[in-house]
Amino acid sequence: MSAVTLNARPTRDFDAKLQHTQSLLRTVVAEHPRAASDAGPVVAQASTLGAEDMVISHLPGGQSATVAEVLDHARAVAEVPAGRSAGIVLDRELDVSRGDWLLDGGAEGDIFQPTRELEGTITWLDDERLVPGRIYWALHGHRWIKARVERVHHQLDVHTLAEEPASTLGANAIGRVALSLHEPIAALPYRRSRALGSLVLVDTATHRTAAAVLLV
């Protein structure tokens, strides 16, 4: 199984305030005379991406297409390992935007079933306390989505690692939270995929980085 995310450029305000949290990856631009092509880093489980005739699905669009060719950084047909950028030549036109995902639609494609409801371990970074019910910006891969913190399950005592009851979190606190997204994403637990299993939360008013979330 594989996943490719298309590089996205944040808005001017976000780019200035979140530069230290983002790794801007160079896009490989692949021109092809016969089919549509998109480019971005290979981020998920597969050791390589290079299978022609592989069916992929587009998130959030929900459309599918067949991979005609996989191009490396030199625009040559090649297998591309995870962590490297790839040009994906498709057999048809898809309405794909920066920050969208191209996901393996094969036998194990259901592992990427889009979801709006998430659970995760959160590290709260803002001086302003976490407020359950409040809306934040969430950065997943290169895609921005609105997210609501539904509840705080508990806070972790950093000295004893004991789980303590909590309804809010202060600066530098670690806890477990439930999130609800305005749009579905393809998510995996962080232990299985660093790219699909992590989020950055940003205050919608101040644009300060509010938290880092590892999905469980």
User: Does one domain contain both 104 and 168?
Assistant: no
User: Does one domain contain both 8 and 57?
Assistant: yes
User: Does one domain contain both 29 and 61?
Assistant: yes
Q: Looking at residue 13, what DSSP letter applies?
A: H
User: Does one domain contain both 53 and 132?
Assistant: no
User: Does one domain contain both 107 and 131?
Assistant: no
Q: What is the pLDDT of residue 102?
A: 79
User: Does one domain contain both 10 and 47?
Assistant: yes
Domain that holds residue 160: 115-215
User: Does one domain contain both 92 and 119?
Assistant: no
Total structural domains in the chain? 2
116 with 178: CB under 8 angstroms?
no
Q: What is the pLDDT of residue 26?
A: 26
Tokens 């259901």 map to which residue? 110
pTM above the 0.85 mark?
no
Q: What is the pLDDT of residue 10?
A: 36
Q: What is the pLDDT of residue 3?
A: 55
Query: Cα dihedral angle (23, 26, 27, 30), rounded to 10 degrees?
Result: -160
Residue closest to 102 by CA, chosen among 36, 146, 148: 36
User: Does one domain contain both 12 and 107?
Assistant: yes
User: Does one domain contain both 138 and 47?
Assistant: no
We report the CATH number of the domain holding residue 137 as 2.40.30.10
Q: What is the pLDDT of residue 155?
A: 97
Low-confidence ranges of the chain (pLDDT < 70): 1-53, 55, 105-112
User: Does one domain contain both 149 and 54?
Assistant: no
User: Does one domain contain both 103 and 119?
Assistant: no
